[in-house]
Amino acid sequence: MSPILNVYNPVKIQDGVFYSKVILNDEDIIIQVKKNKVILDKTNNKALLDIDSKTRKDIAWIGEEVIKETSKNSESWFGKNISLDDCKTLYRDCIDDKKLKCFYDENSNFYENKNDSIEHSNLPDEMLGIAIIKCCVIIFTKTAFYVRWEISQFKIKTNCEEKLNLIEYSIRDLEEHNISIEDFNIENRLKEKLKNISLF
């Protein structure tokens, strides 16, 4: 069966800013990325994560579906019809030169090994490792919209196995193993992290 992306009705965060939760096949969208480099912007809690071609393809597909859903529902969501071409213009791609522009926050866990998490203040600005990323929400502003991806877990320099469960240590220590959009499974959590909204 083909994957089905569902976008919830937008919820207002502040004047002119809304968010919509997005799920795939009725589950949160979680992807484990092969071992790659991440660069942290600690001032703004942003990150640039190198991603492989399979992950880029999955994320690009999600973006395309989000654009279609936004155009299709624009009248009921925003009170006016927005064409598919206009939605493509308004959409801000989260992939730039094979890197994913994403975020991390106090709920993002960084590990040296299964039992040792690292305080964010002790993280280097650049590191190699395996990441689990989550497609949290779509952010709509007056002039643009984008999909907000977040780092849920990151293990510095590693190896792996088992089902993803963000309540516990979940990173599969196989550099070669890449979990794609067919493999989703995880619990819900979101709202607080949307306090400081910004475009890339």
* Per-residue pLDDT tens digits for 28-58: 999 999 889 999 999 999 999 999 999 999 9
How confident is the model at residue 197, as a pLDDT?
A: 53
At residue 113 the predicted structure's pLDDT band, cuts being 50, 70 and 90, is confident
Whole-prediction pTM: 0.78
140: number of CA atoms within 13 Å, CB side? 22
Ranges of each domain in the chain: 5-194
Copy the structure tokens of residue 159: 């190896």
HSE value, Cβ hemisphere, 13 Å, CA-based, for 120: 17
